[in-house]
């Protein structure tokens, strides 16, 4: 019995088993690869895909678990923003914007505090603006004064004609001026 403590009686069986199993395992591996190759080549993938219920398949997907595995920042780094904006229909987007709601969110006082009035005045030709606005007002005032003067002149002429007891009205202007207008 002491010899059994030092010698394994099954050792020869194990080494004989390895000599048998190793080649058989390699043979089985080769057969499995060949069978899979034959199945893949004999399989009509289109027919198989047609039999798949995509809705049921998608229904089994846990989107939240999937999103926890996605690195969104790495995904966004791969997005070509210029190309994406090039495909956007800005007019359709603006049609969906409620301008009233957007403007109600704007703090006009804060916006005006940000305006650099000194820089704005530097870039504006105030002299030209004042000249245009005052020139227009002066021209209008001058036209109104002329119109009033013509009306007053006609009023005085009518009273002078009555005072002198003339039956016919005075000519519209001096004879030389009237002859010049007829030639033009």
SS3 31: helix
Residue 77 lies in a domain: no
Residue 103 lies in a domain: no
CA-based angle 122:128:132, to the nearest 5?
Answer: 145
Q: How many CB atoms lie within 10 A of CB 43?
A: 10
Residue 8 lies in a domain: yes
Residue 99 lies in a domain: no
Instruction: Tell me the DSSP string of 70-103.
Output: S-HHHHHHT--HHHHHHH--HHHHHHT--HHHHH
Domain limits for position 149: 121-167
Token representation of residue 84? 């994406």
Tell me: the pLDDT tens digits for 159-180? Answer: 888 888 777 766 666 777 667 6
Residue 106 lies in a domain: no
CA pair distance 23, 53, nearest whole angstrom:
43
Residue 90 lies in a domain: no
Token representation of residue 128? 């030209």
Tell me: the pLDDT tens digits for 39-64? Answer: 878 878 788 888 888 888 888 888 88
Question: Domains in the chain: how many in total?
Answer: 2
Stated pTM of the model: 0.24
Residue 75 lies in a domain: no
């Amino acid at each position: 019995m002491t010899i059994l403590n030092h010698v394994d009686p099954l050792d020869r069986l194990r080494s004989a088993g390895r000599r048998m199993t190793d080649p058989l395992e390699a043979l089985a591996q080769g057969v499995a690869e060949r069978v899979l190759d034959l199945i893949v080549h004999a399989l009509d993938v289109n027919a198989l895909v047609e039999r798949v219920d995509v809705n049921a398949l998608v229904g089994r997907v846990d989107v939240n678990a999937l999103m926890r595995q996605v690195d969104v920042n790495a995904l966004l780094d791969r997005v070509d923003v210029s190309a994406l904006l090039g495909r956007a229909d800005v007019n359709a987007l603006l049609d969906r914007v409620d301008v009233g709601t957007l403007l109600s969110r704007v703090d006009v006082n804060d916006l005006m505090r940000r305006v650099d009035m000194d820089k704005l005045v530097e870039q504006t030709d105030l002299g030209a603006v004042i000249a245009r606005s005052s020139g227009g007002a002066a021209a209008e005032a001058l036209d109104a004064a002329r119109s009033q003067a013509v009306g007053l002149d006609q009023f005085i002429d009518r009273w002078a004609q009555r005072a002198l007891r003339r039956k016919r009205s005075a000519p519209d202007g001096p004879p030389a001026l009237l002859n010049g207008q007829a030639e033009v």
